[in-house]
Chain A
Amino acid sequence: MTDGTASRYPGYNVLSKRDGPSWDEVTRQVIDRRLNVPREPRFLDPERFRTLKAVCGRILPQPPERPDVPLAAHVDAKLFDNALDGYRHADLPPLREAWLRGLAALDAEAHAAHGRAFADLAYRQQDTLLRRCEAGELSHPAWDGMPPASFFSQRVLADIVAAYYAHPSAWSEIGYGGPASPRGYVRMGANRRDPWEASEARPGRERTALKENRRVR
């Protein structure tokens, strides 16, 4: 739930439609389970999970005014389920192995450069390490042949960002309508908002947007 006039879609919460005609039973089940993802890791050990949490915090820093989407827990769930994507680049090991090795390597890089675990670095230092990973500039033996740049684009970015934009909090943030079955949409033209869509707080219409968003069902 977003609130206050700072947000682009003040007061809009996609979950207010949960019991309305835009959500069917299977969708409610799926989203309920997502909202109740186990917070404790089931695949990663506590140390790697701590590293992962820190990485998630930099890839998608979250706004302070609402509970965080537990991104690390979602990535861990993907690893626990071994939910494959259907392909992998020849230079990457399989899903689980890539994450295990990559998180250990980021930590090893942090120790080598700063004498501390990745999770204990300042945000600026974490960002620098991640940028060097992205650019393929890291070379600690802990990578063991896995190209850091591929790990960054194919695993870090892909898995964390997908987990975030699968979450209702992210949908509310971007003004996305969310689930839409059986009720779909009616007004198809530009600047035409169905009453069950998010209303945008353009300058001067913040209060109208807030009012309209509170009525979304």
Chain B
Amino acid sequence: MYADEPMRPRTMQGRAPDVFTRGGWIPMQLRSDGEEVDFVVIGTGAGGGPLTARLAEKGFSVVAFDAGPYFRPLEEFASDEASQSKLFWTDERIVDGANPLKMGANNSGKAVGGSTVHFAMVSLRFRPEWFRSRTLLGYGADWPLDWREMWTYYAQAEQDLSISGPLSYPWGPKRPRYPYRAHEVNAAGLLLAKGAEAMGYRWSPTPLATVSAPRGNSPPCVYRGFCRVGCSTNAKQSQLVTYIPRAVRAGAEIRDLAMVGRIEVDATGRATGVHYHRDGVWRFQRARNVVVAGYAIETPRLLLNSATDRFPDGLANSSGLVGRYLMTQSNQAVWGEMEEEVRWNKGPPSLALTEHWNYDDRKDFFGGYCWMGQGPLPIEWSSVLTGARGLWGEALRRQMENYNHQIGLKMVGEMLPHLDNRVTLSEEHDQYGLPIPRITYSWTDNDKALIDHGLAQMRTSLELVGARNIFLQKDDTNHLAGTARMGFSRETSVVDADCRSWDIPNLFVCDGSVFPTTGGVNPHLTITAIALRTADRIEALAKRGEL
């Protein structure tokens, strides 16, 4: 298949691609539209993937939809930044506000496996206090989840994803050994380490979702550095090569290239199924329960687009909070040049990190952040130089020639939830005829203070390792959360601790949208841990006849 040929659904004939063999297939159970399945799951990423697998393993009938294709990494993932944009959600979205978000490559995937197909694999746990940040730290909102319970689900997620990490992790409460040894740290990571040590901070090899030794059909990572545009070797433990094959084996059906446009609700106020677009036609799948797992833009968009006379403001929205409290994470960076050759594109991009400022509270702002080593590929690096420094012409070409000598540190910082940062529907329509989202974002004063602090710290670290021509990239953000927050009451949240909507008892949300706060670490492991918990909770509710 060529990169720009339109794809057709692959899982229509009772089989799914075997991602581990060229041209191979695995058998997959098919369900008919008319069968009332136990669960429809919309989205197969960090939330939808594990939930689908666990529900199927518990014996529920599940059909999971994804708007994106079911890729075969071995045959279809080129070692190439430009053509691999096929992994991203590139349908139009309008961004505004004082600090408009960059979407596309930066923020969301459209493929079976979701954004985990092209994520950077950094796999971190929240600091326990963040689950009660309002009570313990004085900002944001408390989660209705207990950190000790989350600790056990994190451990399960780390096992399932074969996380490679250090023997002992320097921050937070004790955790079990990582299942795979840490990866060798590249030159870019060692410079982070040297800078952190010079500042008196601890650092660590980053726990990563790519294997350092064989696992099943996954070979160890070969340090090619293309992780953010898809891993062609299957070393990366994305949903596509972990929970999705598990789900299929356990009897779930994965419908690829199937865009859900609307959730149907009957006169009694219960969800009855979903309207979806596949292979050129709109169809309707009946279901006893519906789970939305489309991530922080598509989840609220679908809930809003599903408005009815009874729910004129969209589904699960009696609180008026669907689409609100959108959060991204500050992803600012400091860049510089070294005398030596660093060749930062070798290996996964973030092989070392320091979480120092997530655990040190001597700051005059709320929230925390970590920072990581960097290894952008040429197109991404050129966009930093044009964006942050406005370089073009000869100046840009000359600066790009320093590629092999560059280093960089990038923060992942906690942005505070704000009511006015939100997703709404615009007047324009997409290729399915659905209103496209408008994403409005402005940083709060606290966000700005945190960013300034992080930039100054990272600059010091680069100075201490002797980097020259240091410059700051002040505008980048990454990762999404919020827009269907979980909480303690129907007035102040969209779903409860079990990810069940307050308004419609058989409608769940299980993805990054449920975060009430976003913490100072990358989100996927927390999303997956919540999904694993949700599956257990659903099983318990079903046993008690409360589903």
A: residues with CB less than 8 A from B are 8, 22-27, 29-31, 33-34, 58-61, 81, 83-90, 94, 127, 134, 153, 157-158, 161-162, 164-166, 170-171, 173-193, 197-198, 200
Q: How far is the CA of A151 from the CA of B207 in the complex (A)?
A: 40
Supply 11 further A-B pairs (C-beta < 8 A) apart from A89-B95, A90-B438: A60-B392, A61-B394, A90-B95, A127-B393, A161-B382, A175-B401, A178-B79, A182-B222, A183-B222, A189-B190, A192-B187
Residues of A within 8 A of B33 (CB): none
Q: Are A26 and B95 in contact (CB under 8 A)?
A: no
Binary interface encoding of chain B residues 424-450 relative to chain A, with 1 for a CB under 8 A from any of its CBs, else 0: 000000000000001100000000000
Instruction: Say whether B76 faces chain A, with CB atoms less than 8 Å apart.
Output: yes
Inter-chain contact B2/A60, CB cutoff 8 Å: no
Q: How far is the CB of A189 from chain B (nearest CB, A)?
A: 5
Who on chain B is nearest to A163 by CB?
Answer: B82
What residues on A are CB-neighbors of B396 within 8 Å? 59-60, 161
Q: How far is the CA of A13 from the CA of B382 in the complex (A)?
A: 20
- Residues of A contacting B92 with CB < 8 Å? 84, 86-88, 94
For the complex of A and B, 3 pairs with smallest distance between CB atoms = A86-B104, A184-B222, A179-B79
What are 30 A-B pairs at a CB distance below 8 A? A22-B79, A29-B2, A30-B2, A58-B393, A61-B394, A61-B397, A84-B104, A85-B103, A85-B104, A86-B104, A87-B94, A87-B101, A89-B95, A90-B100, A174-B378, A174-B400, A174-B401, A174-B404, A176-B345, A179-B78, A180-B226, A182-B233, A184-B223, A184-B225, A188-B185, A189-B186, A189-B190, A190-B342, A192-B343, A198-B404
Contact for A134 among B88, B221, B390, CB less than 8 A: B390
Q: Are the C-beta atoms of A33 and B2 separated by less than 8 Å?
A: yes
B102 contacts across to A, CB distance below 8 A: 87
Q: Which of B's residues lie within 8 Å of A, judged by CB? A: 2-4, 75-83, 85, 88-96, 100-105, 107-108, 184-187, 190-191, 221-226, 232-233, 338, 340-343, 345-347, 377-379, 381-383, 386-387, 390, 392-394, 396-397, 400-401, 403-404, 438-439
Contact of B378 among A23, A30, A58, A176 (CB under 8 A): A176
Question: Which residues of B sit under 8 angstroms from A173, Cβ to Cβ?
Answer: 397, 400-401
Which of chain A's residues have a CB closer than 8 A to the CB of B338?
A: 190
Which residues of A are found within 8 Å of B3, using beta-carbon distances? 29-30, 33
Shortest C-beta distance, B34 to chain A (Å), equals 35
In the complex, which residues of chain A have a beta carbon less than 8 angstroms from the beta carbon of B404? 174-176, 198, 200
A-B interface contact total, Cβ < 8 Å: 200
With A and B bound together, what is the CA distance between A53 and B222 in angstroms? 40
Complex Cα–Cα for A86 and B295 (A): 15
CB-CB under 8 A from A192, the residues of chain B are: 187, 341, 343
Q: Within 8 Å CB of B100, what residues of A?
A: 89-90
Enumerate chain B residues within 8 angstroms of A61, measured Cβ to Cβ. Answer: 393-394, 397
Complexed CA–CA distance, A22 and B222 (Å): 11
Who on chain A is nearest to B426 by CB? Answer: A90
A87 in contact with B233 (CB, 8 Å): no
- B382 and A162 contact, CB distance less than 8 A: yes
Cα of A38 to Cα of B100 in the assembled complex, Å: 35
Chain B residues with CB under 8 Å of A170's CB are 378, 400
Q: Which of B341, B386, B394, B439 contacts A161 (CB 8 A)?
A: B386
Whether B104 and A87, one on each chain, are in contact in the complex, defined by CB atoms closer than 8 angstroms, is: yes
- Distance between B283 CB and nearest chain A CB, rounded to angstroms: 26
CB closest residue in chain A, given B83: A30
| A157 in contact with B386 (CB, 8 Å) | yes
List of B residues within 8 angstroms of A30 by Cβ: 2-3, 78, 80, 83
Q: In chain A, what residue has the closest Cβ to B405? A: A200
Contacts A84-B91, A89-B100; A180 near B224 (Cβ below 8 A): yes
How far, in Å, is A48 (CB) from chain B's closest CB?
20
> Bound state CA distance, A90 and B92, in angstroms?
11
Alpha-carbon separation in the docked complex, A25 to B226 (Å): 16
Q: Find B343's partner among A8, A179, A197 (CB 8 Å cutoff).
A: A197
Closest CB of chain B to A192's CB: distance in Å? 8
Q: Can you name the residue of chain B whose Cβ is closest to the Cβ of A81? A: B4
Q: Which residues of B contact A23 (CB under 8 A)?
A: 79
Specify which of B4, B103, B186, B345 is in contact with A86 (CB 8 Å cutoff): B103
Contacts of B81 in A (CB 8 A): 166
- Nearest CB of chain B from residue A50's CB, rounded to whole Å: 20
Which chain B residues lie closer than 8 Å to A182 at the CB level?
222, 232-233
Q: With A179-B80, A200-B404 as given contacts, are A60 and B379 in contact (CB-CB < 8 Å)? A: no
Contact (Cβ within 8 A) B222 A90: no
Residues in B neighbouring A183, C-beta threshold 8 A? 222, 224
Question: Once bound together, how far apart are the Cα atoms of A26 and B75, in whole Å?
Answer: 6
Report whether B341 and A27 are in contact in the complex, using a CB–CB cutoff of 8 Å: no
Are A86's CB and B78's CB within 8 A?
Answer: no
Bound form: Cα–Cα A8–B405 in Å: 12
Chain B residues contacting A185 (CB-CB under 8 Å) are: 222-225, 343, 346-347
- Complex Cα gap A187–B88 (Å): 31
Q: Report whether A84 and B90 are in contact in the complex, using a CB–CB cutoff of 8 Å.
A: yes
Instruction: Assess the A190–B187 pair: CB atoms within 8 A.
Output: yes
Rounded to whole Å, the gap between the CB of B28 and the closest CB of chain A is 24
Contacts of A59 in B (CB 8 A): 392-393, 396
Task: Assess whether B400 is in contact with A188, with CB atoms less than 8 Å apart.
Answer: no
Whether the pair A186, B223 counts as a contact (CB closer than 8 A) is yes
By the criterion CB–CB under 8 Å, are B77 and A26 in contact? yes
Instruction: List, in ascending order, chain A residues with CB within 8 A of B82's CB.
Output: 34, 162, 166
Are B225 and A180 in contact, with the CB atoms below 8 A? yes
Partner of B379, one of A90, A162, A181: A162
Closest to B440 in A: A90
Q: Is the CB of B94 within 8 A of A90?
A: yes
Q: Say yes or no: B88 contacts A157, CB within 8 Å.
A: no
Q: Kindly list chain B residues whose C-beta atoms are within 8 Å of the C-beta of A81.
A: 4
Nearest Cβ distance between residue B524 and chain A, in whole angstroms? 19
Nearest-CB residue, chain A, relative to B397? A60
Residues of chain B within 8 A (CB-CB) of A171 are 378
Tell me if B378 and A165 are in contact (CB < 8 A). Answer: yes
- The answer to whether A165 and B382 touch (CB under 8 A), given A84-B90, A189-B186, is yes
Q: Which residue of A lies closest to B84 (CB)?
A: A30
Q: Of all chain B residues, which has the CB nearest A127?
A: B393
Complex CA distance for A29 and B78, rounded to whole angstroms: 9
When distances are taken between beta carbons in the complex, the residues of chain A under 8 Å from B107 are 86
Give, as a whole number of angstroms, the nearest-CB distance from B348 to chain A: 11
In the assembled complex, how far is the CB of residue B23 from the closest CB belonging to chain A, in whole angstroms? Answer: 13
Structural contact, A193 and B341, CB atoms closer than 8 A = yes
CA distance A188 to B348 in the complex (A): 11
Q: Are A191 and B379 in contact (CB under 8 A)?
A: no
Contact B91 A86 (CB under 8 A): yes
* Contact (A87, B223) CB under 8 Å given A162-B382, A190-B187: no
